[in-house]
Amino acid sequence: MMFSPELMRRVLAYPIEKALKSFGYLPVRRNARALVFICPFHAEKTASFRVNRRSNQYLCQACGAGGSVVRIYKEFENIADEMTAIAHVAHIIGISSKELRLQRNVPRQLTYAERMDADPARWRAKLDWQQRTRDDRKAKLLRGEDPW
């Protein structure tokens, strides 16, 4: 199951700056767009870990670590599952367990393969179309024409 888009927006809007401060990391420099930290993922002397305030994303220019607030909690708390990390951040924000359970029961959208499996006639028609296209291109090549 997935969480609803509204819950995901609320979770991803939680500032990374607050998450890093809760783990004891303070910004080295601040400017209008970004905060610069010492990277928590590797040992360094020069700060290369930037948090973009507008997009609420982080990127370390030295080690390449990057992501959102969910990824920060996933790495620091050693959480293997992304859904658990989302639930963890949701609890920090103040979303109740009951609301979290209700939001979790949102049906997910089907993948392309699942939609095709649900409608075999559509799948067959697509395969037939692809085969006809290949045959047409071969015929054009044999006639010396441009197949595209």
Residue pLDDT, tens place only, 31-60: 878 888 888 888 888 888 899 888 889 898
Tokens 């290369």 belong to 48
Q: Which residues 6+ apart lie within 8 Å of 26 measured at CB?
A: 20, 37
Nearest one of 61, 60, 80, 55 to 69, comparing CA atoms = 55
Residue pLDDT, tens place only, 98-135: 777 766 655 667 777 777 777 778 777 877 888 888 88
Give the whole-number percent of the chain exceeding pLDDT 90: 0
Residue 29 in this model has a pLDDT that exceeds 80: yes
Does the global pTM surpass 0.75?
no
Can you tell me the distance from the alpha carbon of 87 to that of 72, in angstroms, rounded to the nearest whole number?
Answer: 13
50 and 69 Cβ atoms separated by less than 8 Å: no
Per-residue model confidence (pLDDT) at position 103: 66
Nearest one of 14, 16, 1 to 95, comparing CA atoms = 14
State mean pLDDT over 82-106: 79
State mean pLDDT over 73-88: 86
Can you tell me the distance from the alpha carbon of 61 to that of 54, in angstroms, rounded to the nearest whole number?
Answer: 18
**Mapping DSSP to helix (H, G, I), strand (E, B) and coil, where does residue 100 land?**
helix
Q: Which backbone phi and psi does 79 adopt, to 5 degrees?
A: -95, 125
Per-residue model confidence (pLDDT) at position 1: 53
